[in-house]
Amino acid sequence: MKKINLGFLALLSLSAVCSYGQATVTKEQKEVIANLDKKKDHYGDVSKKIWDLAEVGYKEVKSSAILEEELEKEGFTLEKGVAGIPTAFVATYGKGKPVISILAEYDALPGMAQEAVPERKVIEGQKAGHACGHHLFGTASTAAAIAVKDWLKQNGKTGTIKLMGCPAEEGGSGKVYMVREGVFKDSDVVLHWHPGDRNSANPASSLANISAKFRFYGVAAHAAGAPERGRSALDGVEAMDYMVNMMREHIPQETRIHYVITRGGEAPNVVPAFAEVYYYARHNNREVVKDVWARIVEASKGAAMGTGTRVEMEVTGGAYDLLPIESLSRVMFKNLETVGGVKYTPEEIAFSEKIIATLPASTETRPKYTEAETVPAFSTKIEGMGGSTDVGDVSWAVPTVGLSTATWVPGTPAHSWQAVAAGGTEIGKKGMMVASKTLALTAIDLFKDPALIQKAHADWEKAKGANFKYDAMVGNRKPALDYRN
């Protein structure tokens, strides 16, 4: 019997893996990543088209069509206009179980037009901008779904991959209506991601919210000649705002209440017959949100009574808090660690340093661009992010897991011109590809190992509680397709 060279065998066993990111990558993973890299320029162009369009919630006609076309070309079956929303769609490939769904968003924010440069420079004639990176979100998710489709086809695997086209995340609660109409009922696990300034796949929650427009109706009159005949709708708005602001002292301190006066009258010398204010209320406990919201509504009624006006309320959005599942987050994190972070070129370093210089000074150390390269260690501490997302409702309907990648310069907050600027450059596109690779590898893991899905469902059922019953924060209203009007 020949003596076995153990060193040679060890070397041979390592030939199936290679270093990539902060972990190791198998030959199969390397092929998936390489196939996505081959298309990175194409997907970069797709994201830039959506960035240029900057269509706001429920108006994303061209943006959703771009993603639909990409998926149709790849053999997906498209169902358009789902849940009564013209810009919502479901793209499906494959058959049988498991059914893994990936979320895609593509709406922009009003008032955030910005060129892809490291100083404030508004795009003339454009009102909206992708200050939350949803042009990257939708594109990366589409790329991941196509990569998973290719893997299923090449390996002859049974299973179904779905891309959920989800409009109007920014205040329109598009996914809430999709959940309410049963769009996710056949999904076994849902994957999502979000642009950010760092790389993370830790289990995290979010703030539940409710939003609505309060419309006050008064009586117009000449403000100088006959003011006694008028009843100012703007007085009603201002009285409501004053009462809500006094209420802040007497609600849980973690609560967030925001408002903007969207209509305040037409001319100072005319008593306004109509005025409108747009409110948000948030908290990490949706029962607290409901309680605070009831008090806001009462304040609106009191303001109307006190000013001799009439008030109507239209709920435009509302979302649950995210329900994190640690076991799924660990699967996602492992793949993010395998893919690794974002490395900047000298030109991108110069861009990032200019962006960092524009960020507000604070007591903290200024961020460094190198933070985009790293994937910090996994943390099991459940932290709620400062914002809200309608992914929260999805997470209570089906086990859901997500990640964030460095599509913006470290330190950049969402909903800022700096986020818009970076999202229109190669920096944003590089972070987008990190997300697409991580999503694809995670979906493939779930297809290959049913035990991961079984564990996720057991954890999810326990986290929900036996008596949980879904009740949408928006009630029974139809999608607020005109909320951006």
Q: Is residue 433 part of a domain?
A: yes
Cα 462 to Cα 126, 320, 399, 459, 471, distances in angstroms: 47, 17, 11, 5, 19
Strands, E, within 65-104: which ranges?
A: 77-80, 89-95, 99-104
Q: How far apart are CA 434 and CA 344, in angstroms?
A: 13
Q: What is the pLDDT of residue 11?
A: 34
Q: Is residue 160 part of a domain?
A: yes
Q: What type of residue is 64? A: S
Q: Is residue 5 part of a domain?
A: no
Q: What is the pTM of this model?
A: 0.92
Higher pLDDT, 19 or 475: 475
**Residue 155 is encoded by which pair of tokens?**
């390996």
Q: How far apart are CA 263 and CA 232, in angstroms?
A: 12
**Residue 419 is encoded by which pair of tokens?**
């986020």
* Same domain membership, residue 335 and residue 228: no
Average pLDDT over residues 476-484: 96
Q: What is the pLDDT of residue 384?
A: 60
* Same domain membership, residue 407 and residue 309: no
Read off the pLDDT of residues 422-470 as tens digits, 9 standing for 90 and up. Answer: 999 999 999 999 999 999 999 999 999 999 999 999 999 999 999 999 9
Longest dimension (CA), the chain: 113
Give the distance from CA 131 to its chain's centroid.
Answer: 11
* Same domain membership, residue 342 and residue 283: no
* Same domain membership, residue 195 and residue 53: yes
* Same domain membership, residue 222 and residue 201: no
Q: How far apart are CA 168 and CA 17, in angstroms?
A: 41
Q: How far apart are CA 332 and CA 335, in angstroms?
A: 5
Helices (H) and strands (E) in the chain, counts: 14, 16
- Tell me what the pLDDT averaged over the chain comes to: 94
Which domain range does residue 124 map to?
38-206+322-464
Give the distance from CA 90 to its chain's centroid.
Answer: 17
Domain boundary among 319, 354, 378: 319
* Same domain membership, residue 342 and residue 197: yes
* Same domain membership, residue 330 and residue 183: yes
Q: How far apart are CA 104 and CA 102, in angstroms?
A: 7
Q: Is residue 483 part of a domain?
A: no
**Residue 98 is encoded by which pair of tokens?**
């498991």
Read off the pLDDT of residues 330-367 as tens digits, 9 standing for 90 and up. Answer: 999 999 999 999 999 999 999 999 999 999 866 567 88
* Same domain membership, residue 202 and residue 212: no
Read off the pLDDT of residues 238-249 as tens digits, 9 standing for 90 and up. Answer: 999 999 999 999
- First CA to last CA distance, the chain: 82
The enclosing domain of 222 has a CATH number of: 3.30.70.360
* Same domain membership, residue 335 and residue 308: no
Q: Is residue 482 part of a domain?
A: no
Q: What is the pLDDT of residue 79?
A: 98
* Same domain membership, residue 458 and residue 364: yes
* Same domain membership, residue 349 and residue 253: no
Q: Which residue from 244, 305, 328 is spatially nearest to 279, judged by alpha carbons?
A: 244
* Same domain membership, residue 327 and residue 181: yes
Q: Quote the number of domains for the chain.
A: 2
Phi, psi of 52 (to 5 degrees): -65, -40
Secondary-structure breakdown of the chain: helix, strand, coil percentages, each rounded to the nearest 5: 45, 20, 35
Q: How far apart are CA 98 and CA 84, in angstroms?
A: 27
Burial label, 309 (beta-carbon count in 10 A; 0-12, 13-18, 19+): buried
The enclosing domain of 158 has a CATH number of: 3.40.630.10
Eight-state DSSP code of residue 387: S
Q: Is residue 8 part of a domain?
A: no
Asked if the bond preceding 98 is cis, omega within 30° of 0, the reply is yes
Q: Is residue 231 part of a domain?
A: yes
**Residue 77 is encoded by which pair of tokens?**
């079956």
**Residue 366 is encoded by which pair of tokens?**
């200024």
Q: Is residue 4 part of a domain?
A: no
Question: What are the helix (H) ranges across 170-284?
Answer: 174-180, 233-247
Read off the pLDDT of residues 18-41 as tens digits, 9 standing for 90 and up. Answer: 445 556 789 999 999 999 999 999
Average pLDDT over residues 373-396: 89
Read off the pLDDT of residues 61-108 as tens digits, 9 standing for 90 and up. Answer: 999 999 999 999 999 999 999 999 999 999 999 999 999 999 999 999
Cα 452 to Cα 136, 145, 157, 185, 445, distances in angstroms: 28, 19, 17, 19, 8
